[in-house]
């Protein structure tokens, strides 16, 4: 590849993004592609510090505007320090979450203006958009069950965002589906009744179709 290719994985908490991101990374490595696997918020040391501030529960509430701007600050650092240089080197970049997350979580779920969030993040990302986005979709009950199982296995509590409850997570899911209806870049993968390998196979099918096109 002369130019890099930017793939993002989106979805509500507990949808299986991390597992599928690692499988995609392994798939591309086996094809001898140079791959960068990253996540948001985070991806660089400074962006990871902002992640800690955003996600760690504290006595001081995080206002929606503060949350939007912190995500955008983390994203700006992430794009300019990691993602954009990797793409310019012709690498495949796989990121768990990108701007669609801000639109779903802070826009649709928290009720903030979508155009405002879009404008802020267009500046933060320098206009960068993914080439392909996978939305891993499952009903909210299923996603919350997976999330709780993961937290129990790791003996940890949910972060600030994960702890917002069912109604919030359902708004996130519906927000994502609304975004997908209006953007052909977003491929919806129904994960509700599928196992890990069948989901991975579906992602690979779409990756092959888009890259060959």
Predicted confidence (pLDDT) per residue in 96-105, tens digit? 999 999 999 9
Residue pLDDT, tens place only, 26-66: 999 999 999 999 999 999 999 999 999 998 887 788 899 99
pLDDT at 2: 46
CA distance 119 to 132: 20
| SS3 label, residue 95 | strand
Per-residue confidence (pLDDT) for residue 192, from 0 to 100:
87
The DSSP 8-state label assigned to residue 4 in this structure reads -
Read off the pLDDT of each residue in 74-79 and give the average, rounded to a whole number.
Answer: 98
How far apart, in whole angstroms, are the C-alpha atoms of residue 171 and residue 174?
A: 5
List Cα–Cα distances, 149 to 9, 118, 152, 158, 161, in angstroms: 21, 33, 5, 11, 17
Listed in sequence order, the residues at least 6 apart from 164 whose beta carbon sits closer than 8 Å to its beta carbon are 109
Domain that holds residue 21: 5-212
Residue 151 has pLDDT above 80, yes or no: no
Between CA 124 and CA 68 the distance in angstroms is: 11
CATH number of residue 79's parent domain: 3.40.50.300
Q: How many domains does the chain have?
A: 1
pLDDT at res. 1? 42
């Amino acid at each position: 590849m002369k130019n890099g290719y930017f793939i993002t994985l989106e979805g509500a908490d507990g949808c299986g993004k991390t597992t599928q991101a690692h499988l995609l990374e392994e798939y591309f490595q086996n094809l001898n592609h140079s791959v960068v696997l990253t996540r948001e918020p985070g991806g660089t040391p400074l962006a990871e510090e902002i992640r800690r501030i955003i996600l760690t529960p504290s006595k001081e509430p995080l206002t929606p505007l503060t949350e939007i701007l912190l995500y955008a600050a983390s994203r700006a650092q992430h794009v300019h320090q990691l993602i954009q240089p990797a793409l310019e080197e012709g690498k495949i970049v796989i990121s768990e979450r990108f701007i669609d997350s801000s639109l779903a979580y802070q826009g649709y779920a928290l009720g903030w203006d979508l155009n405002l969030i879009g404008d802020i993040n267009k500046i933060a990302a320098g206009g960068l958009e993914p080439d392909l986005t996978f939305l891993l979709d499952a009903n909210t009950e299923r996603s919350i069950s997976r999330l709780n199982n993961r937290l129990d296995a790791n003996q940890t509590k949910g972060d600030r965002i994960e702890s917002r409850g069912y109604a919030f997570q359902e708004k996130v899911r519906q927000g994502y589906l609304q975004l997908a209806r209006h953007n052909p870049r977003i491929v919806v993968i129904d994960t509700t009744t599928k196992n890990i390998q069948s989901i991975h196979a579906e992602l690979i099918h779409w990756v092959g179709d888009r890259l060959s096109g």
